[in-house]
Amino acid sequence: MSKKPKTITLLSWSALFVAAVLPVALLRGGLLGTGGSSQLVSVLTYIGVLVTASISLIGYGVTLQTEQRLENEQEERQRQLRLDAAMRAGQLVSPHDAEPAHPAALASGLLALTQLDQAELAVALLVDLWSGDRNESEPGPGSGNGSSSRVSHEAAILVIDAALRSTSPSARLVAAELLCRNATRLDTCQSLHWPSVVDGCWDPTFGPKTKLLIVEALVRMTMTGPAEEGALRSVAVRLYGIWEADPTAEVRGCIGKFIGKVLGRLHDFGVKQFVHGPKMVTIENLQAAAASAADNPDDYLAKLSNELGNALGEWAASCQAQRPNPGALATAAILPL
């Protein structure tokens, strides 16, 4: 907020004080004596000061009103420009002449909305554009977009990433729900199949439901992906990033449980440390996280997390050495943006 209005208010009160006090002092002869001519000069001087102060106050007032009007007009223009841009972006998502919009147009429109602070609208539109047909079996990771998806996995993940970075709790929740709903169609070894905002790092300000959905999405994506060493490393570091950053005891207890399920297989591969952004995560760090494993006070949540953890442990036990697929080198380093 500008400090100018406070400055002008101070000047205004100063001028009023001078206008009120000065004539009393002058007429009492405090400045120019007690003679009649001196009093006349004092009155004329006072009138001059009062006129000057009044002109200054009027000038300041006009300047302030002008600046406030221009600032309001600028804000209104910016708001209108964002609204117009959002409407044009929405038109890219809408079909034209009864023909479905091109996937590139859909992706452009959704990503444009995220750049216009419309992440909530973008993920709301993504609900019908990305989700596969629930009446048919889900395709495996990397097998395409499903029978009804109209945007690619990569474009959808970029939209979800933007929504998770936003400050809107509802946008974050919808993004996490979409991520969990489509997790089994993603490939944990593809960096473009996971939001970078939660790739080896974590935002502890996520709501409880958002946290649960993201964690479940991570585990389910991992278990339906290739059972390889690279995937095992990725899930371990991503889980550790959550454990390290979240102060909630229930979250740390659940994540510690999941890390404990994959720790034995990591030992089998002789893994000692992992790249984690600007630092290294050691096997000792993972052991400390696993030692914090605890059941949730809610018996139902504890039961579900135990079942999910046991399934993750079975998947980890089946992991084999990493195949030299494209992108395999990147699975060795989780680099948060």
Are 24 and 44 within one domain? yes
Q: What share of the chain is helix, strand, coil (3-state, %, to 5)?
A: 70, 5, 30
Are 61 and 197 within one domain? no
Are 62 and 119 within one domain? no
Residue 72 placed within a domain: yes
Are 111 and 31 within one domain? no
With CA atoms as reference, report the closest residue to 195 among 182, 332, 207. 182
- CA distance linking residue 113 with residue 277, whole number of Å: 29
Are 220 and 164 within one domain? no
Residue 91 placed within a domain: no
Count of beta carbons in the 10 Å neighbourhood of residue 240: 25
Identify which of 59-63, 128-132, 290-294 has the greatest average pLDDT: 290-294
**Domains in the chain, number:** 3
pLDDT digit string (tens) for 282-314?
A: 899 999 999 999 998 999 999 999 999 999 999
Domain that holds residue 323: 184-337
Average pLDDT, the chain: 77
The answer to whether residue 1 scores a pLDDT higher than 50 is no
Q: Report the pLDDT averaged over residues 59-74.
A: 79
Element (H, E) at 333: strand 333-334
Chain-centroid distance, C-alpha 293: 28
Q: Please, what is the end-to-end C-alpha distance for the chain in angstroms? A: 32
Residue 140 placed within a domain: no
With CA atoms as reference, report the closest residue to 197 among 224, 158, 156. 158
Tell me the β-bridge partners of 288.
Answer: none
Element (H, E) at 202: none
Q: Which of 99-108, 226-235, 256-265, 286-295 has the lowest mean pLDDT?
A: 99-108
Are 44 and 122 within one domain? no
Pairing of strands 273-276, 279-282: antiparallel
Query: Exposure pattern of 102-112 as b/e (b: 16+ CB <10 Å)?
Result: eeebbbbbbbb
Are 11 and 113 within one domain? no
